[in-house]
Amino acid sequence: MADSAQTFDLDAYLKRIGWEGERRPDTDTLRAVHLAHLRAVPFENLDPVSGTAPSLDLGDLTAKLVHSRRGGYCYEHNTLFAAALRALGFRVTLLAARVVVGAERIEDRPRTHMALLVEVPGDPQPYLADVGFGAIGSLLEPVPLTADTEFHDAGRRHRLVHVPHRGPLEMWVLQAHRGIGTGAGAGADAGWEAQYAFTTEPFEQPDYEVINWHIATNPRSPFSRRPYVQRLLPGRHLLLDGNRLTETRADGTVTERELTGEAEARRVVEEDFDIAVPAGLTLLDG
């Protein structure tokens, strides 16, 4: 990926996400492009569901996520986003994180999530960026790599904390606030929930080739067994997990329903998520 700034089609990417601002490597641009990407390109795992490990080649990602009505999961989104940021003049380090939502211990989860550490020219503070975390607790805008400070990113609330571990580098944990307006339900205040843990050790693209193949093809991986699709819309978040469709509104209201069958699932994915379902793919078993 070292030459991605020279080969990446930045014009097509910015058109895809609908961003027309000045192309400056500053914090305002970083935040704006991050949010625009999330609102334009859905999260989906339809290739793994079909039995295929998606390509992380930049040309293939551009064809799929930029020029087609498709999305992807973390390795696809953040590989593409890293290329765009580098083309805009940012320095990007690839990170590998342990998704810890629902885990009792950080060590119980492998490093399977790609996140990004972004350096802004002239700013001594690096930023955690991530357009590929398929969860309601995901970042909407990058946040400074600063511990014990609450950040309000486009209506969501996050913070980073340190936790003890045995390694030589500090272990960071991204937490999302699951209270009013963040998807916990109207009138609820469930406090902070850990999303993923990471160190700032650099990872390289070949590392993700291996992780991507494992997550896409392992029969025990949740991404290979059922569709998992999400889309960020103004004032609401849509999630399809198997046959269950969940809508979370900005005020915390959550509605859920089960889809009735394959025809409805295809219609929802095509129309509500704006994703072209690959030919021959069956979304729901039975």
Catalytic residue positions, numbered:
74, 113, 130
Q: Helix (H, G, I), strand (E, B), or coil: what is residue 247?
A: strand
Q: What's the Rg (C-alpha) of the chain?
A: 18
Rounded CA separation 70/171 (Å): 34
Element (H, E) at 144: strand 143-144
What residues contact 162, with CB distance under 8 A and at least 6 apart?
A: 147, 170, 171, 172, 173
CA-to-CA dists, residue 18 to 13, 38, 40, 59, angstroms: 9, 11, 7, 20
Tokens linked to 123: 């700013």
Rounded CA separation 157/219 (Å): 34
In 3D space, the residue among 274, 218, 264, 278 whose CA is nearest the CA of residue 50 turns out to be: 278
What residues contact 151, with CB distance under 8 A and at least 6 apart?
A: 143, 144, 157, 158, 159
